[in-house]
């Protein structure tokens, strides 16, 4: 019903803004919450949001132990690990740079697809794109600049987080391609599995935490972050990140895929880092060096090259609005 009331083009733009702003929201949340708390609350809120939508729409959850087993493994690579990598990475690097790191997802997807999908073949275009992507990452990292380069660990974490998405979706494609996971069944299943996985993670963090919070949900200011934002803003940022950025955004994504096809919907990947950079600079006052901007351009070119579809395949895609 929602797909007939709001044009898919508006939802497409909304997706790029929602997902692009997630890096800013994580940065704001870090002022009063620990990284593991942000990851846990984000997944719990998103799972609750989609579970409510499942009940309202009457959609059935996936069935079968095998399906749920693969969903659980996928959820580790599509929720727990990337969410953790990005937010911990942002302890050390800017939200703008974290968004740029997200642009390496298509490159990692190609590498993992070549490794675990028998049908994938290495073409000259894919090889060129992977090499370009690697060059772009090196340029962004600036290993030759020992004083002004981005924090090595922080940038490595965001690149690994983006790579986790590539592995997760490739594993999903390998194991669940023929499962009946239409509508909101798959994202809801992924987030429910992610919620289960986060319970022991959060309990373990709480028991081993040097800050010794009273409960896993106690607010403890991250060391070195200061009090740049009021408490309500930090908490509100994570609520928005969970409900809108990780929950309702899935609804928009499925509507765009149904209306415009997978080729068009996948191009939102290119806009996410652009939005994160703009918001980081304009809202948070972050700055990027010339090497980071140049590297971003190289990585984005590699991603575009990887996802370029031959004309004969584009012609078979459903027209927008159908």
Tell me, what's the pLDDT at 39?
97
Tell me, what's the pLDDT at 261?
64
Mean pLDDT, rounded, of the chain: 86
Whether residue 182 is predicted with pLDDT greater than 90 in this model: the reply is: no
C-alpha angle 116/255/194, rounded to 5°?
50
Give 85's pLDDT tier (boundaries 50, 70, 90). very high
Going by C-beta distance under 8 Å and a sequence separation of 6 or more, which residues neighbour residue 276? 20, 21, 22, 23, 24, 95, 96, 98, 99, 100, 102
| Alpha-carbon span 53 to 247, nearest angstrom | 10
Phi, psi for 179 (deg, rounded to 5): -80, 150
The pTM assigned to this predicted structure is 0.88
Percent of the chain with pLDDT over 90: 51
What is the Cβ-side half-sphere exposure of residue 231, based on CA atoms within 13 angstroms? 4
Whether residue 160 is predicted with pLDDT greater than 70 in this model: the reply is: yes
CB 307 within 8 A of CB 144: no
Each residue's pLDDT tens digit, 250-301? 888 877 877 776 656 667 888 899 999 999 999 999 999 999 999 999 998 9
Tell me, what's the pLDDT at 259?
75
| Alpha-carbon span 73 to 197, nearest angstrom | 10
Tell me, what's the pLDDT at 262?
60
Tell me the average pLDDT across 130-135.
91
Within 10 angstroms of residue 219's Cβ, the number of other Cβ atoms is 13
Tell me, what's the pLDDT at 314?
38
Within 10 angstroms of residue 76's Cβ, the number of other Cβ atoms is 18
| Alpha-carbon span 6 to 8, nearest angstrom | 6
Q: Which residues of 117-145 are buried (b: 16+ CB within 10 A; e: fewer)?
A: eeebeeeeebeebbebbbebbebbbbeee
For residue 269, what are the CA distances in angstroms to 115, 181, 212, 299? 22, 23, 39, 12
């Amino acid at each position: 019903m929602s797909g007939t009331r709001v044009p898919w083009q508006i939802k497409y733009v909304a997706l790029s803004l929602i997902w692009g702003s997630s890096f800013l929201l994580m940065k704001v949340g870090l002022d009063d919450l620990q990284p593991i708390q942000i990851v846990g609350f984000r997944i719990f809120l998103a799972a609750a949001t989609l579970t409510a939508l499942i009940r309202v729409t009457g959609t059935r959850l996936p069935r079968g132990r095998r399906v749920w087993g693969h969903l659980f493994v996928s959820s580790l690579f599509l929720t727990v690990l990337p969410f953790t990598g990005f937010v911990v990475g942002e302890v050390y690097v800017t939200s703008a740079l974290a968004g740029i790191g997200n642009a390496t997802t298509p490159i990692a997807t190609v590498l993992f697809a070549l490794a675990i999908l028998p049908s994938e073949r290495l073409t000259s275009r894919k090889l060129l794109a992977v090499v370009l992507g690697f060059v772009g990452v090196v340029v962004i990292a600036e290993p030759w600049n020992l004083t002004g380069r981005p924090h090595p660990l922080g940038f490595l974490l965001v690149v690994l987080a983006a790579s986790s998405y590539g592995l997760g979706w490739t594993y999903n494609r390998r194991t669940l391609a023929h499962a009946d996971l239409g509508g909101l069944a798959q994202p809801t299943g992924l987030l429910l599995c992610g919620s289960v996985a986060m319970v022991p993670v959060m309990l373990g963090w709480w028991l081993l935490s040097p800050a010794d919070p009273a409960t896993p949900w106690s607010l403890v200011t991250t060391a070195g972050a200061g009090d740049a934002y009021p408490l309500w803003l930090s908490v509100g940022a994570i609520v928005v990140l969970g409900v809108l950025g990780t929950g309702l955004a899935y609804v928009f994504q499925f509507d765009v895929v149904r209306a415009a096809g997978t080729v068009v919907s996948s191009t939102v990947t290119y806009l996410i880092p652009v939005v994160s950079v703009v918001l980081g600079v304009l809202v948070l006052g972050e700055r990027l060096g010339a090497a980071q901007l140049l590297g971003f351009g190289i990585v984005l070119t590699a991603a575009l090259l990887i996802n370029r579809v031959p004309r004969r395949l584009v012609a078979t895609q459903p027209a927008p609005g159908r």
